[in-house]
C-alpha cells in the first residue's frame, strides 16, 4: 500500500485543476496504449494516491512535470504500472479467512468430488501479486490431503496483470521476514533455505500452481473453477467494473462454487443476484444458479 507520507506534498484528487485532470487521464491513456492495461474506469482517488507515490519517487513536483518525464523515459511506465497494481501480501494473510476456507469450504468440495468420482479441485487466485496467497493455498491443501489420507489433487491458477510481481511469484523466492505467517514445520516442509535470509519454494509445491497473465476485466474468465479468491483488488474498481468482474467470476465457477472476497469488500447491491452469503465476516460467498441450464 502507499505510504501516507509519500504523497503528502500532493493535493487531493478532488482539488486537481481541469488542466491537471487532463494530464492525469493522458497518462492513463498512454499507460493503456503502451502497456495494454486500462485503468481509466478505476476509482480515480485510488489511482491518484498510487500515481502520487510514483511521482514522489522520481521527485516530480506536479503532474505536468511527471507527464514530461514519462514521455522522455517510457520505461518509467513500468514503475507506474507496478505502483498502481502493487498489493501488500504475506503468507496466510488474514489467517482467520484461511481457517474458514479450511473448515467450511474445502470439506464441502472434497465431499462433492468424491460423490462424482473426481479427485481434483480447481482454485483461482485472482490478483495473486507476488504469490504468497496461492502458495499458502497449496500448503494448506497439502496438509489437508495428507491429514485425511485421501488421494486428491489441487490445481491452483494464479493470475495477475503485473508482469514483474507475477514473475517474482513464479520464482518463489522470499526473505525470512516474509515467512512470519508460517510455522517452522511449514517452512521446513515447503521451502529450501538458500542463505540465512533467502528461502525458495520447493519444486513439488510450485508444480501445483500455474502462473499466468490475466486481466480479470477484459480477458475471458477461467472455467470450471471450484473456488475463487480475489481479495482487496476489486475495491479499486468503479461500480460498473465491479459488476463486470463479478459476472465473470459467476461464469467461471461451477454450480455452487465459492468466492472469497477481501475483508473491505462487500457484494451487497452489486452482485447479490449472483452470489449468496455464506460467511459475511470472512467474505465467503456461494454462486447462485440463475437457471437450470447452468453447469
Q: What is the mean pLDDT of residues 39-66?
A: 88
Q: Is the pLDDT of residue 292 over 60?
A: no
Break the chain into its structural domains and give their ranges. Answer: 13-85, 95-287
Residue 218, CA distances (Å) to 7, 215, 248 in order? 30, 6, 10
Q: Is the pLDDT of residue 295 over 70?
A: no
Q: What is the mean pLDDT of residues 87-110?
A: 91
Listed range (37-41, 116-120, 122-126, 167-171) with the worst mean pLDDT: 37-41
pLDDT band with cut points at 50, 70 and 90 for residue 35: confident
Q: Is the pLDDT of residue 147 over 80?
A: no
Q: Is the pLDDT of residue 239 over 50?
A: yes
Q: What is the mean pLDDT of residues 148-156?
A: 85
pLDDT band with cut points at 50, 70 and 90 for residue 270: confident
- Asked: is 95-287 a CATH 3.40.50.620 domain? The reply is no
Q: What is the mean pLDDT of residues 80-98?
A: 84
pLDDT band with cut points at 50, 70 and 90 for residue 4: very low
Give the pLDDT of residue 77.
87
pLDDT band with cut points at 50, 70 and 90 for residue 9: low
Residue keyed to cell 472476497 = 261
Q: Is the pLDDT of residue 36 over 80?
A: no
Q: Is the pLDDT of residue 8 over 70?
A: no
Residues contacting 208, CB < 8 A, separation 6+: 138, 141, 142, 153, 154, 155, 156
When comparing pLDDT for 141 and 11, which is higher? 141
Q: Are 240 and 209 in contact (CB under 8 A)?
A: no
Give the pLDDT of residue 149.
67
pLDDT band with cut points at 50, 70 and 90 for residue 46: confident
Give the pLDDT of residue 85.
74
For the residues of the chain, what is the DSSP string, one character each? ---TTTTTTSPPGGG--HHHHHHHHHHHHHHHHHH----TTB-HHHHHHHHHHHHHHTT--SHHHHHHHHHH-TTHHHHHHHHHH-----TTSSHHHHHHIIIIIHHHHHHHHHHTT--EEEEEEES-TTSHHHHHHHHHHHHHHHHHT---EEEEEEEES-HHHHHHHHHTEEEGGGGTTS-HHHHHHHEEEEETTEEEE-HHHHTTEEEEE--TTTSPPPSSEEEEEE-SSGGGB-HHHHHHHHHHHHHHEEEEEEEEE-TT---TTTTTTTEEEEETTTTEEEE---STT--
Listed range (2-11, 96-105, 152-161, 221-230) with the worst mean pLDDT: 2-11
Listed range (36-40, 88-92, 162-166) with the worst mean pLDDT: 36-40
Give the pLDDT of residue 88.
63
Q: Average model confidence (pLDDT) for the chain?
A: 89
Would strands 253-261 and 275-279 be described as parallel, antiparallel, or unpaired? Answer: unpaired
User: What is the per-residue pLDDT across 54-75, written as a single tens digit (0 to 9) for each?
Assistant: 998 899 999 999 999 998 998 8
For the chain, what percent of residues have pLDDT higher than 70?
94
Q: Is the pLDDT of residue 2 over 70?
A: no
Give the pLDDT of residue 10.
74
Q: Looking at the domain 13-85, which fold is it?
A: Chemotaxis Receptor Methyltransferase Cher; domain 1 (1.10.155)
- Rounded to whole angstroms, the Cα distance separating 237 from 259 reads 17
Shortest CA distance to 126 belongs to which of 94, 97, 160?
160
Q: Is the pLDDT of residue 274 over 80?
A: yes
Amino acid at each position: 500500500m502507499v505510504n501516507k507520507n509519500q504523497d503528502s506534498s500532493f493535493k487531493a484528487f478532488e482539488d486537481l485543476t481541469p488542466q491537471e485532470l487532463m494530464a492525469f487521464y493522458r497518462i492513463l491513456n498512454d499507460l493503456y496504449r503502451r502497456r495494454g492495461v486500462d485503468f481509466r474506469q478505476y476509482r480515480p482517488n485510488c489511482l491518484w494516491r498510487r500515481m502520487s507515490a510514483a511521482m514522489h519517487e522520481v521527485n516530480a513536483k506536479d503532474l505536468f512535470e511527471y507527464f514530461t518525464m514519462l514521455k522522455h523515459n517510457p520505461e518509467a511506465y513500468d514503475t507506474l504500472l507496478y505502483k498502481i497494481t502493487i498489493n501488500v501480501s504475506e503468507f496466510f494473510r488474514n489467517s482467520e479467512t484461511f481457517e474458514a476456507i479450511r473448515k467450511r469450504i474445502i470439506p464441502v468440495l472434497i465431499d462433492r468430488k468424491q460423490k462424482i468420482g473426481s479427485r481434483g479441485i480447481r482454485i483461482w487466485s485472482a490478483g495473486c501479486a507476488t504469490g504468497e496467497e496461492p502458495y499458502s493455498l497449496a500448503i494448506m491443501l497439502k496438509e489437508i490431503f495428507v491429514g485425511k489420507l485421501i488421494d486428491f489433487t489441487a490445481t491452483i491458477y494464479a493470475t495477475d496483470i503485473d508482469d514483474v510481481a507475477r514473475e517474482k511469484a513464479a520464482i518463489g523466492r522470499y526473505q525470512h521476514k516474509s515467512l512470519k505467517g508460517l510455522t517452522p514445520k511449514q517452512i521446513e516442509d515447503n521451502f529450501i533455505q538458500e542463505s540465512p535470509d533467502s528461502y525458495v519454494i520447493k519444486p513439488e509445491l510450485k508444480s501445483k500452481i500455474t502462473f499466468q497473465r490475466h486481466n480479470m476485466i477484459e480477458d475471458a474468465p477461467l472455467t470450471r473453477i471450484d473456488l475463487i479468491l480475489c481479495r482487496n483488488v476489486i475495491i479499486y474498481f468503479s461500480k460498473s467494473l465491479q459488476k463486470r468482474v463479478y459476472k465473470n467470476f459467476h461464469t467461471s465457477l461451477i454450480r455452487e462454487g465459492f468466492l472469497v472476497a477481501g475483508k473491505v469488500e462487500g457484494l451487497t447491491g452489486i452482485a447479490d443476484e449472483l452470489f449468496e452469503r455464506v460467511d459475511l465476516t470472512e467474505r465467503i460467498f456461494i454462486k447462485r444458479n440463475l437457471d437450470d441450464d447452468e453447469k
